[in-house]
Every structure is written in structure tokens, then in C-alpha cells.
Structure 1
Amino acid sequence: MWKAANLLLAFLVEILALGVFARWGWDTGGTTVTRVLLAVGLPLVAAVLWGLFAAPTAARGQVPRWIVKVLVFGLAGAALWSMGHPLLGIVFVVVVAANLAIIHTQKLQP
């Protein structure tokens, strides 16, 4: 049950990061076209990078995996901060860090 709960939390924070990118893109864009491009494009770029380097089934080394994870989750936390939610950004990054530490130390990920 512990393993399933941590893996579920990992999945949820990944999805939440994509949602944060979409919201940040919408809030940041000036025109409607820019808003749509950012709100769709940023999560799409993050998802592609995640799939190529950070997903458990990605055929890449450990270094790119951790770089992509730090970038995606760190930027999501920074985006929350820049949208006026600094505490939420900090909590998000702390929860992600704790979850990744648990997954790494318990070898829950292939």
C-alpha cells in the first residue's frame, strides 16, 4: 500500500505540474493567441521531455532523468510563486522532493 500511495502521489504531482504550466501560460500570454499557444505548448513540451528522459520506461541515463525532474518540478513551483502563490509553490516543491526521496530510497521505480 505504501508503494502504491507514493507512486500515485508521484503521478498526481506530474499531472499537477502540467496544469500549473497551462495556467501560467494562460495568465502570462498577452493576446488570446499567445495565451492559447503558451497554455497548450508549455505542458506539451514538459510532457515530451518527461516522456523522453524522466519517465520510468525512458531509455536514458539517470543524469538526464534527474535534470528533467528538477527542471519540471522546480519550474512548476516557480510558476506558482510568480502567479502570486509563494506558499503553494514552496509546499509543492517540498512535497515533490519528499516523494522523490521516498521513491528513490525505497527503489519503487524501475
Structure 2
Amino acid sequence: MLVRFALELALLAGVAWCAWAAARGYWWRWPALGLAPVAVGVAWGAWLSPRAPHRPAEPARVVIEVLLFGGVGGWLWWHGHPWLGVALAGTWALDRAVIERSSSRPV
């Protein structure tokens, strides 16, 4: 559970970095730096958190997570931070595998 929370925080930090790097011009960088992680955090809380009010079915949740973690990891890789991108996406994949394995155990 702690690893999952740390991954979520790392995702938000990665989204902030991606927004900062993608924004052209000094003035646009500050709003992008603040709004992008807030938007992802609100979406995460609405659809992906364990207590989300509008939680989609499991395959859709995994696809959304792949897009988020894979997208941010790929962006970091592409923009000169390959180890950060691999660490983010790889840790998410490992965590997801542990979640799947623990949820499929017979009780």
C-alpha cells in the first residue's frame, strides 16, 4: 500500500515535470506546472483510487493506468531521463503484477 501511494506521488511529480518541459514560454510554464498534476490527481481520485465514486471495471482501470504511467515514463525517457522513466513504469508494472497475484489467490 505504501509503494502504491509512493507511485501515485511519483506519477504526479512526473506529470508536473512533463508539463513544465512541454510548456513553451516562461509564462505558460507556471500554470502548467500547477494545473497538470491537479488534473491528474482529480481524475485519479474520481476513477482510479480504491474509494473512487465512479470506478470503472478492472480492464479499463488497468488500461488507464498503463496510459498514465507508460506515457509519463515514455515522456521522461524521450526527454533525457531514461532511468527515471524506466523506474516509474517498471515499478508500476511490478506493483500491478503483485496486485494481480494477490487478488487471484484463493481464500
TM-score clears 0.5:
yes
TM-score normalised by the chain length of structure 1 = 0.80
Misfit runs of 4+, over 6 Å: none
* Partner in structure 1 of residue 18 of structure 2: 24
The one-letter amino acid of 1:44's match is V
Q: Which of 51, 55, 75 is equivalent to 2:45?
A: 51
Unaligned runs of 5+ in 1: 1-6
How many residues end up aligned between the 2 structures? 101
* Partner in structure 2 of residue 4 of structure 1: none
**Partner of 2:24: helix, strand, or coil?**
coil
Q: Is the 8 A contact 1:17 1:73 kept in 2?
A: yes
TM-score normalised by the chain length of structure 2 = 0.82
* Partner in structure 1 of residue 82 of structure 2: 86
Q: CA deviation at 1:77?
A: 0.3
Give me the CA root mean square deviation.
1.6
Deviations 1:10-58 (A, max 9, x none): 1101101100111121122222221012211221121121111111112
Q: Which of 9, 13, 31 is equivalent to 1:37?
A: 31
* Partner in structure 1 of residue 98 of structure 2: 102
Unaligned runs of 5+ in 2: none
Instruction: Determine which structure has greater relative contact order: mean sequence separation of CA pairs < 8 Å that are 6+ residues apart, divided by chain length.
Output: 1
The percentage of counterpart residues that share the same residue type is: 30
Q: Which of 60, 70, 73 is equivalent to 1:77?
A: 73
* Partner in structure 2 of residue 3 of structure 1: none
Q: Is the 8 A contact 2:70 2:89 kept in 1?
A: yes
Partners in 2 of 1:51 and 1:66 — Cα distance?
A: 15
